[in-house]
Structure 1
């Protein structure tokens, strides 16, 4: 890459870096000790029954991740005796049902029910995360209880906030998210325009691949539900399931076209097509499965697919494919980010900035690097066409010169270089063709002389 291109990449990285330090909770507040109660699927307890249960266990941190489970989990902790703390944040957008209870001296004073299976407008504060405001009171003996169950991965990153402080932090994060979405949208429209102009399939496949990751990330962090279909929880559920195989399928097809595997690696080309076909079949199969099974299968298939995408880059790079360098860096970042996010969904990795935003970071790297690669490819293809045209014109000029040389040799004596009989005849024919009346004038006296010779006395008087 040129120095200008590297400077652009570094600029984007610097813009994304502050995301690691924003919206991580009220830093000055030590989160109170949390207990949890885990119930088997189908077990339901009222608030009083849950409160009086003897099975509560201490929670190690305020960001638990139970992975894919059908269990119902209760959480409880003391509301802080701090007049500035008036809001609880659950920073995970894919929880089907959350019941929030605030009790004072054993009496319920506030109740809120929400989740991503309810219309977005039902949330107490319209935000992509779940926000639960409560009245600040530094004196009362108060507890907060949460009842949560979901069909996807059950993770509950919690933070206590002062409302004003939260929105100050969140505004920075939202601006950085806007930069991220702006990058992907710009990439999509740029490559779509190139496709319309050139009609080359590789650009359309990249548009669909990037669109898939844009929708996938938008669904993962709740932005799509907030902005695109806030009144359709069922559509939000379907989108969360379909975007994973959709993005992976078009990524595989784009990689196949971008690296020209059909021409260079027929065996590897068939493997990539096989994985693409499996992801296409997954899109159909998902329609017949429940949410939990569908999302698990989609993620399980996405992991080997992304690993394949990661491996083919270095293989092609080692074999001298000029485009594989960009590809290796781009898909290496995206595959690593996707694998980290997938492992986090399975509960294998804890919640932190890297595991939460791994796919966003990786996809932003991928979008920038591959756009540069496609631009370089477009420039190189145009250069190749110009050079091919110049070579064609040079060949035509050489052929014309050879033809003129042959003509010259056929009209001149090879020994003396003087015009030969053929040359003379051509000049005479040209003169006759350009002045036909000259020939007629010369023939008329000959005809008169012929008549006079046949009638010798015709002229006597």
Structure 2
């Protein structure tokens, strides 16, 4: 026994020295140091009672401090208080002003105590966290920053007391102030790129919804907008810019917004993949998921963040997995290209969301990739889903063209079958062929008439407002390209309401028809076009015509109208018109868009009305 006693004593001595060295690792700050990663150098204690004070933490020798080897210590969701400590020596002779950067913006309470060596009984105390109004932070920044003053050639003990209803993650780094602000610019740029992508995709699909009326695009816009706002809440931007005076809402916003993302994401998938029509069972499953998350959304308005966030995080994984399964199922069963794009998009996004959720639970370490995985994955997903929606629209067009082709092929087969029996039923076939040819010709003629009708005002025979907008846009583009003038005449019949009231609307319609015919007879060039702008207002578009030429045409039309007798049931009536003329001339630098050009003509028309009617006014406001 005595023979082994010296060995045991040596072993105990070495163990004590090892523990002492392990506990007293000191960070070294040099004069030219720009940043220090301190996550793997800290020691921590878990206070399950939430009652330990700073004095007990410093002087109670029975407390067992633990060392973490992770760059970002992560402990998942916990109701306990976490105490963290580290020691740093400023080896520079001058005082160094640094930031202690706690990069996880969702921590509720973070209190810092700074003691200098030799042992100092009074601490420099600072409080931070997202339970404070943003204006009360030590530094107005989305991250939790503690400004530390390190006196030259001095050693400091730093203690942090941390409590939070969110996941306990402690990413810490010391920065020279100038270096921090320089590095932060790159971080802001990266976030700007991400939110720029979201904004562009949201606006693009919102315009598609307004143009096409397909709810799929609107649901997609709401989904990516909610996701972007949630990302801003996670990274601290939302607290800084959207609700800086609402710490209580900031603490619960993630639990409230996340179910909204799931609800609209599931609705978007159901509409985009047409689950209700082709896959009713999957659609029913998504309805259950939507209703459950809607309940979570309502519950999040009243229950605590800590109560719901674990369930919400789990529902995100379930929803993403369901989206992934349904998109792959639709792809493999239908072989639709847009379903393949959906599958790829949700695969990338699910990977990012799973990484973030596991990171929040503390099951995987927190680093740039795991913390940004959902943001990176969502950016890729947003672009792929937009492309998938475009492919979905193209697929619908392809199906329509295929149906038309199939109908054409069927018609050709029917015609061929009829020709096979032509020898026996020659006279009948010839008769039917002739009838078919006539029918086809009539259909073609009707199609041409329908096209013309869709662009023609039924009363006056002039081009309608929609066709006028198209013609004006085309001619303005040609005018700008060829550097030639384009004039517009806006004509309004004087006292037309009184004519309608006195002689009746049928006579008013007759007047409009006769005036329209006068205009048609006085514009003979092929590019000139007359259109009905609305009511008794008519527009004449004159390409390659300067203001002076348009004035001549306008006066000619005005005089013809004034000279024309309109026959009522009892008397003959003369009608007059007021005309406003405007010109867009790229050579003189007066190029105008369609709305501007019409507005100038309208101003001139108003001037003509003001000056007694039955006259023409140019857009220079000079009476002609």
Q: Same fold (TM over 0.5)?
A: yes
**Distance verdict in 2 for CA 1:388–1:254, change over 3 Å:** same
**Distance verdict in 2 for CA 1:233–1:408, change over 3 Å:** closer
Q: 1:196-345, aligned counterparts within 5 Å?
A: 196-322=210-336, 323-345=338-360
Q: Please state how far the C-alpha of 1:45 moved relative to its aligned partner.
A: 2.6
CA distance in 2, matches of 1:198, 1:389: 22
- The answer for unaligned runs of 5 or more in structure 1 is 1-25, 410-461
2:77 is the alignment partner of 1:65: no
**Distance verdict in 2 for CA 1:402–1:234, change over 3 Å:** farther
Equivalent in the alignment of 1:104: 116
Equivalent in the alignment of 1:95: 107
Note the alpha carbon deviations across 1:32-66, whole angstroms, 9 max, x for none: 8322121014x223221221133122233342111
CA distance in 2, matches of 1:313, 1:268: 11
**Distance verdict in 2 for CA 1:389–1:317, change over 3 Å:** closer
Number of residue pairs matched by the alignment: 382
Q: Please state how far the C-alpha of 1:382 moved relative to its aligned partner.
A: 4.4
Q: 1:157-176, aligned counterparts within 5 Å?
A: 157-176=171-190
* Higher strand fraction (1 or 2): 2
CA distance in 1, matches of 2:287, 2:218: 17
CA distance in 1, matches of 2:269, 2:220: 9
CA distance in 2, matches of 1:179, 1:82: 40
Q: Please state how far the C-alpha of 1:141 moved relative to its aligned partner.
A: 2.5
2:363 is the alignment partner of 1:363: no
CA distance in 2, matches of 1:305, 1:371: 20
CA distance in 1, matches of 2:343, 2:431: 49
CA contact (8 A) 1:82 1:136 kept: no
**Distance verdict in 2 for CA 1:35–1:171, change over 3 Å:** same
CA contact (8 A) 1:82 1:137 kept: no
Q: Please state how far the C-alpha of 1:288 moved relative to its aligned partner.
A: 3.4
**Distance verdict in 2 for CA 1:408–1:226, change over 3 Å:** closer
CA distance in 2, matches of 1:329, 1:394: 36
CA distance in 1, matches of 2:137, 2:407: 68
CA contact (8 A) 1:327 1:370 kept: yes
Root mean square deviation, CA, Å:
2.7
- The answer for unaligned runs of 5 or more in structure 2 is 1-32, 416-429, 439-624
Secondary structure of 2:139's counterpart equals coil
Equivalent in the alignment of 1:377: 392
Note the alpha carbon deviations across 1:352-408, whole angstroms, 9 max, x for none: 122111110110010010111112223343455577679899999999x99882399
CA contact (8 A) 1:259 1:321 kept: no
Secondary structure of 1:230's counterpart equals coil
2:133 is the alignment partner of 1:135: no
CA contact (8 A) 2:86 2:159 kept: yes
Equivalent in the alignment of 1:39: 47
Runs of 4+ in structure 1 over 6 Å off: 386-399, 401-404
Secondary structure of 2:292's counterpart equals helix
What TM-score, normalized by structure 2, do the two folds share?
Answer: 0.57
**Distance verdict in 2 for CA 1:44–1:386, change over 3 Å:** same
Q: Please state how far the C-alpha of 1:181 moved relative to its aligned partner.
A: 0.6
Q: Which has the higher contact order (CA 8 A, sep 6+)?
A: 1
CA contact (8 A) 1:34 1:61 kept: no
